[in-house]
């Protein structure tokens, strides 16, 4: 089937917890629910996000776009992509 | 003093020859000769003719005139224009000058070269739109908030409007500072012979362009003696300019120490070079008992009074300020020790006389012949003051 | 695999925003949940996607929270006085017409103290992109009422509720003569990016309003919750209506938000009008910054010829490379 042959994009989320101010936008608006708020505190006393489902990241970069702090970005994860393509 | 080379004026902007024109038009011609190619203006009596002249001349000279929505916008567009790489000017009168004060502070702190001519009329407020005054002299010096320095020149004739417009641009480039031409309605509307020299005889100071590598440009250096070179937007230096107190990179640095550093520099870059900036004209100062200190149109009225006083046997000298800011402190201090009195006629309630008093520091009498806006002095009033002072 | 937390220095270098931000000034001063930062990212994204020469982009801001944008972005950037970003940008653009000038400022700055400049730049169709971050309040000074604060909303200077009528910014921009007008909420990050891309690729006065949360002041004073609550409001009550009549897009307190591209029309820009007019009236003697129309024409023709030659060379190359890769392997 056509769609079965489409490669799934994979991304790797990079977070700088110390720039985060805990607004939660990335967690709430991640379309594949990759992130969650951590229980821990950063240096400013906010709860930064952490990755809970890394494999689900589809590299859409919406967290990067919506983060008001420039504290999160996504890199394309080529290894993962190839692994899922061959699977 | 920052030594700067001059080049001959661009002949496109120089309308060489003998003309019969008024001071306002001569200002526009001076600006064009100095290489000004961007003028943002707003109509206000009695200055509008300068904007009109520039608007008429600029399409064939390679310049751009824009009539902005108000004087605040005009002055602000100049700072944008200067960082866009042009030599820039506007012209106004008291009410517009008041509106420009906000921007003048921004130009002072960002060390942006620009020229503003104030064709003075009677104030306060709308005052006397069509009648002369010299009431904005202190406003030129202190008008915007905070501590800073500017340079202000005062022409006494249409010819000097032309000459000083060029000098104003040159000084603004050398010191990266707003320079004001504090003329008045009478000189602005007075028609006289104005001789515009050939382009190669007009010496123009070009902008000191930064020559170093990209990424290392620093818009400021706080030496108190000289200024950093400039760049223009679009050349890849990715610089930042702010009205906040800033460091040498131009980034906000909101501390007491940095404010002290910046403000001292703004003041000392002018004060430490004051002797080379200041121009005065003297006549018969040696051995005089009384010196008449004046500037602009009033100096031409004062000559009549001085001539009559001399005919009556009084020893009267003349000191005409061409540069009013920075003030010729040293000269007045020396003079005050040698004369009986300094007589200061001016078309205001007594503004520059305060500076004279400060510098004379009680060494001689200082007589204010003040006369508020609307008309030039009656020479007899100045004569009477000279006679009284000579006693 | 999972998220890694690189050290701060690495993060500053590797962050895709590094080429757009003065990273040495990060983190910024904006509050938790403030929408300004994400609009900056959208702008950077649009500039990147458009392949614009970043050296030819200038950003001008006024005063206030959004006014700080100029200080953070790595372009030729100017943080001016309150309300004066537009006249400053006008001077900059006219002095160096090859620049793309973006005015990035807030609702109080652009529409209260700077309102007159806004309408006149729109009237002239000055070639500027004006991005207004509208958070309905003066943030930097502590939550006072602005010309966009909805009627009945609480502000520190309307502590018993606002009894004034706000501006509807798209209507104002449209009426004043803006040739491109769009509105988004900060939740529409991709639409904002697309709108900015579109505006950067056109000439004339473009205006993009972005409704953003001010969590510390507007949200708090009006008991509207935090940033997430504001986003939820945008999610529930914003409705994309491209081409909507700008007379119908006003915003009531927590009311419906019409978003979308409302206006996109062509009109000569100020500089186009100047050049065309003087070329007609004055002829070949007309020049702007030292260039007469024949000189400019020759220059443009040379540029076009060079571009055509480059395209031809590119085309040959692309054709050659594309051939084996055509259609890829998946479909086969």
SS3 B17: strand
Q: What is the three-class DSSP state of B320?
A: strand
Is the pair A, B in contact (3+ CB pairs within 8 Å)?
no
Q: What confidence tens digit (pLDDT) does each residue in C216-242 have?
A: 999 999 999 999 999 999 999 999 999
Interface of C with B in 1-40 (CB under 8 A): 22, 25
In angstroms, the CA C80 to CA B97 distance is: 19
Residues of B in Cβ contact (< 8 Å) with C56: 234
Contacts of A66 in chain C (CB under 8 A): 38, 186-187, 189
B47: its two tokens = 């200055």
For residue B218, pLDDT over 70 is answered with yes
Are residues B238 and C74, on separate chains, in Cβ contact within 8 Å?
Answer: yes
Q: pLDDT tens across B145-156, in order?
A: 999 999 999 999
Closest-CA distance, C20 to chain B, in angstroms, reads 10
Contact C21, C72 (CB under 8 A): yes
Give the CA angle between residues B172, B51, B178 to the nearest 5°: 15
User: Which pLDDT band, with edges at 50, 70 and 90, does C314 fall under?
Assistant: low
Confidence at residue A79, expressed as pLDDT on a 0 to 100 scale? 61
CB pair distance less than 8 Å for B238 and C71: no
Give the torsion through C-alpha atoms of C152, C215, C236, C160, to 10 deg: -10
pLDDT of C178 over the 70 cut: yes
Is the sign of the CA dihedral B145, B151, B156, B157 positive or negative?
negative
Closest listed residue to residue B134, CA positions, set B80, B183, B91: B183
Decide the pairing of beta strands B17-22 and B191-196. antiparallel
Compute the distance between CA of residue A8 and CA of residue A22 in angstroms, rounded to an integer.
30
**Is residue A6's pLDDT more than 90?**
no
Task: List chains adjacent to chain B, taking adjacency as at least 3 C-beta pairs closer than 8 Å.
Answer: C
Cβ–Cβ gap C32/A64 under 8 Å: no
For A8-51, the pLDDT digits (tens) are 899 999 999 999 999 999 999 999 999 999 999 999 999 999 99
Written as six digits, the tokens of C70 are 């100029």
Residue of B283, B362, B355 lying closest to B137 (CA atoms): B355
**Summary mean pLDDT of chain B:** 97
> Is the CB of residue B182 less than 8 Å from the CB of residue B153?
yes
Q: What share of chain B is helix, strand, coil (3-state, %, to 5)?
A: 40, 25, 35
Does A14 lie at the interface with C, CB-CB under 8 angstroms? Answer: yes
A19 lies within 8 A of chain C by CB: yes
CB contacts of C94 in chain B (<8 Å) are: 38, 64, 66, 77, 80-81, 84
Whether chain C has a CB inside 8 Å of the CB on A37: the answer is no
For residue C74, the chain B residues in CB contact (below 8 A) are 238
Query: What's the pLDDT tens digit per position in C244-297?
Result: 999 999 999 999 999 999 999 999 999 999 999 999 998 888 888 877 777 777
* 8 Å CB contact of B80 and C282: no
ipTM above 0.95, yes or no: yes
The average pLDDT across B200-220 equals: 96
Which residues of chain C neighbour A6 with C-beta distances below 8 Å? 330
Residue C330 near chain A (CB below 8 Å): yes
**What pLDDT does residue A83 have?**
55
Domains of chain B (ranges; CATH) run: 6-205 (3.40.50.970), 281-390 (3.40.50.920)
Is some CB atom of chain C closer than 8 A to the CB atom of A83? no
How many residues appear in chain B? 391
Helix (H, G, I), strand (E, B) or coil at C184: strand
CA angle C124, C52, C169 (to 5 degrees): 40
Instruction: Identify each DSSP E strand in chain A by its residue range.
Output: 11-15, 35-37, 49-51, 72-76
Q: How far apart are CA B219 and CA B227, in angstroms?
A: 9
Instruction: Name the residue in chain C with its Cα closest to that of B57.
Output: C286
Cα–Cα distance for residue pair B186/B22, rounded to 1 Å: 10
Number of other CB atoms surrounding residue A5 within 10 Å: 11
Q: φ and ψ at C208, to 5 degrees?
A: -120, 120
Q: Which fold has domain A8-86?
A: Alpha-Beta Plaits (3.30.70)
Each residue's pLDDT tens digit, C6-41: 788 999 999 999 999 999 999 999 999 999 999 999
């Amino acid at each position: 089937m056509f769609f079965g042959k489409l490669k799934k994009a994979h991304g790797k989320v990079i977070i700088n917890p110390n720039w985060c101010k805990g607004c939660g936008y990335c967690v709430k608006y991640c379309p594949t629910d990759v992130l969650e708020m951590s229980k821990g505190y950063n240096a400013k006393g906010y709860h930064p996000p952490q990755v809970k489902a890394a494999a689900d990241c589809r590299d859409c970069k919406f967290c990067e776009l919506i983060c008001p702090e420039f504290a999160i970005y996504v890199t394309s994860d080529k290894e993962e992509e190839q692994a899922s393509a061959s699977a | 003093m920052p030594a700067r080379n001059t080049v001959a004026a661009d002949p496109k902007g120089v309308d060489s020859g003998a003309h019969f024109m008024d001071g306002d038009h001569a200002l526009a011609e001076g600006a064009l000769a100095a290489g000004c190619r961007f003028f943002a203006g707003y109509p206000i009596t009695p200055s509008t003719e300068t904007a009109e002249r520039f608007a008429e001349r600029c399409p064939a000279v390679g310049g751009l005139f824009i009539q902005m929505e108000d004087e605040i916008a005009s002055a602000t567009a100049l700072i944008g224009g200067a960082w866009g790489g042009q030599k820039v000017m506007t012209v106004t009168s008291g009410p517009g000058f008041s509106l420009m004060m906000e921007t003048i502070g921004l130009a002072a702190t960002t060390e942006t070269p620009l020229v503003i001519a104030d064709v003075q009329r009677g104030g306060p407020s709308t005052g006397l739109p069509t009648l002369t005054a010299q009431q904005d002299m202190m406003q030129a010096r202190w008008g915007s908030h905070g501590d800073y320095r500017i340079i202000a020149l005062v022409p006494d004739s249409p010819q000097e409007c032309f000459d000083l417009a060029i000098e104003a641009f040159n000084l603004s480039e050398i010191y990266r500072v707003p320079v004001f031409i504090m003329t008045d309605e009478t000189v602005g509307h007075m028609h006289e012979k104005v001789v515009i020299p050939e382009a190669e005889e007009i010496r123009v100071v070009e902008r000191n362009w930064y020559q170093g590598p990209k990424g290392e440009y620093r818009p400021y250096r706080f030496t108190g003696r000289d200024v950093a070179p400039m760049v223009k937007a679009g050349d890849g230096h990715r610089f930042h300019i702010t009205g906040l107190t800033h460091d040498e990179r131009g980034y906000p640095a909101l501390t007491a120490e940095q404010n002290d550093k910046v403000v001292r520099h703004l003041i000392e870059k002018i004060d430490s070079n004051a002797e080379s900036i200041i121009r005065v004209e003297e006549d018969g100062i040696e051995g005089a008992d009384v010196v008449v200190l004046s500037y602009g149109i009033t100096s031409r009225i004062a000559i009549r009074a001085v001539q009559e006083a001399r005919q009556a046997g009084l020893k009267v000298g003349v000191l005409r300020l061409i540069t009013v800011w920075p003030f010729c402190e040293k000269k007045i201090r020396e003079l005050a020790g040698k004369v009986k009195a300094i007589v200061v006629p001016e078309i205001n309630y007594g503004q520059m006389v305060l500076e004279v008093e400060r510098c004379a520091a009680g060494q001689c009498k200082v007589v204010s012949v003040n006369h508020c806006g609307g008309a030039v002095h009656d020479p007899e009033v100045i004569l009477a003051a000279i006679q009284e002072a000579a006693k | 695999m999972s998220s890694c937390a690189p050290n701060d220095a690495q993060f500053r270098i590797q962050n895709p925003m590094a080429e757009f931000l003065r990273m040495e000034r990060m983190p910024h001063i904006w509050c938790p949940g403030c929408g300004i930062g994400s609009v900056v990212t959208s702008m950077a994204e649009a500039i990147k996607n458009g392949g614009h020469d970043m050296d030819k982009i200038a950003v001008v801001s006024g005063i206030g929270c959004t006014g700080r944008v100029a200080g953070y972005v790595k372009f030729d950037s100017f943080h001016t006085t309150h309300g004066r970003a537009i006249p400053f940008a006008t001077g900059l653009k006219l002095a160096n017409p090859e620049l793309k000038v973006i005015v990035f400022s807030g609702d109080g700055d652009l529409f209260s103290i700077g309102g007159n400049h806004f309408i006149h730049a729109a009237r002239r169709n000055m070639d500027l992109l004006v991005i207004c971050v509208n958070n309905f309040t003066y943030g930097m000074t502590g939550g006072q009422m602005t010309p966009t604060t909805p009627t009945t909303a609480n502000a520190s200077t309307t502590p018993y509720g606002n009894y004034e009528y706000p501006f509807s910014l798209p209507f104002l921009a449209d009426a004043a003569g803006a040739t491109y007008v769009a509105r988004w909420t900060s939740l529409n990050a991709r639409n904002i990016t697309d709108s900015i891309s579109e505006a950067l690729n056109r000439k004339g006065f473009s205006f993009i309003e972005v409704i953003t949360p001010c969590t510390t002041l507007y949200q708090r004073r009006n008991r509207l919750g935090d940033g997430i609550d504001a986003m939820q409001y945008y999610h529930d009550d914003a409705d994309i209506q491209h081409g909507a009549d700008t007379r119908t897009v006003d915003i009531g307190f927590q009311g419906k938000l019409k978003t979308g591209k409302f206006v996109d029309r062509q009109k000569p820009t100020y500089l186009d009008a100047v050049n065309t007019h003087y070329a007609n009236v004055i002829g070949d003697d007309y020049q702007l910054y030292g260039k007469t129309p024949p000189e400019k024409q020759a220059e443009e023709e040379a540029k076009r010829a060079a571009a055509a030659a480059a395209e031809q060379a590119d085309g040959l190359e692309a054709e050659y490379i594309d051939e084996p890769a055509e259609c890829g392997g998946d479909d086969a």
